[in-house]
Structure 1
Amino acid sequence: MDRCEQAVDYHKKGFNCCQSVLAAFQDVIGLTETQCLTLGGGFGAGAGTGELCGAVTGAVMVLDLLTPADPADVIGSKKRSVGQAKELQKRFAERFDALRCADLLQKKFVPDDTTPAAKALGLTGHCDIMIATAVEIVEQMLAER
């Protein structure tokens, strides 16, 4: 089963978007399933505020865990982390025209060529589309490294 499917399966079990994205990468980020689910627990529904989409938050966490901070290069580490977070958010916003959970929930999305994983999986659930796309973007960014 690929990561997009794994992430959507976590969501179908009741986990939030952030938890679902994190847990789908547990084999490469060095955290256990329980650690992923615990770490992402408070970030669903835009951390309960309707702000940044939890799928995006989980995706940023994955990228950060795969790009550890360097205590000897604090400024460089921050620049790398912020740069990759901005790139991920740019790609996500290009597909959905929003990053805020509350804004995204106001829209109706149908998977298309801009969301190939969601389209291939035949997803119709709003958050499932966001989750699969966030995972897909992380995988694309990692492949570009």
Structure 2
Amino acid sequence: MSKHTERAKELRSEVPVSSNCAQTVMRVYAKEIGLDEDLAAAIGSNFGGGMRCGATCGAIAAGYMVLGAKGIEAPAVLNEFRKCMAKKHDGMTDCADLLRANAAKGGEKKPHCDNMIEEVITLIDELTDGR
């Protein structure tokens, strides 16, 4: 398990959970991208729940922000990121669709979101090779 994944698990284990999916991803990488955790959390605050309206998953949106902050702007890499995430979830990347599909399988929301966060972090780490 990477240090990023470990930190995400710590954040998501807080009771009550104080970081949404986007905030968690942002906070995990905050120092590496030149932010303190509070500012990273503030930046990610309105991206949870698919920008609070069920659109693109907040973890995925935060993944794009982290990749950009790490200097990854190549369309091919960003397309690979999105395709990899969509492939793992039957082509879906929107929060509302992902949660609906998860619920239809009998899944609970928090474990699903925790999994999305972990998948995004793993993919960021693979795409950035530790940058």
Give TM-score scaled by structure 2 length: 0.82
C-alpha distance after superposition, 1:28-60 (max 9, x if no partner): 111110110010011000001101000001111
Listed as ranges, the gaps of 5+ residues in structure 2 are 104-109
Q: Which residue of 1 aligns with 2:5?
A: 4
- Could you tell me whether the CA contact under 8 Å between 1:42 and 1:48 is conserved in 2? yes
Cα distance in 2 for partners of 1:132, 1:108 equals 16
Candidates 100, 125, 128, aligned match of 1:139: 125
**C-alpha distance in 2 between matches for 1:135 and 1:14:** 18
Matched-pair contact (CA < 8 Å) for 1:8–1:20? no
Shift of 1:17: 0.4
**Structure 1 length-normalised TM:** 0.74
Q: What is the aligned partner in structure 2 of residue 64 from structure 1?
A: 68
- Residue correspondences, number: 120
Contact 1:8 1:131 in 2 (8 A): no
| One-letter identity of the residue aligned with 1:91 | C
Largest Rg, 1 or 2: 1
Aligned-partner residue type, residue 47 of structure 1: M
Q: Distance in 2 between matches of 1:19 and 1:83?
A: 25
* CA distance, structure 2, for counterparts of residue 4 and residue 21 of structure 1: 9
- Dislocated runs of 4+, deviation >4 Å: none
Unaligned stretches of 5+ in structure 1?
69-76, 110-123
Aligned to 2:35: 31
**SS of alignment partner, residue 42 of structure 1:** coil
Deviation at 1:144, TM superposition (A): 8.6
CA RMSD between the two structures: 2.2
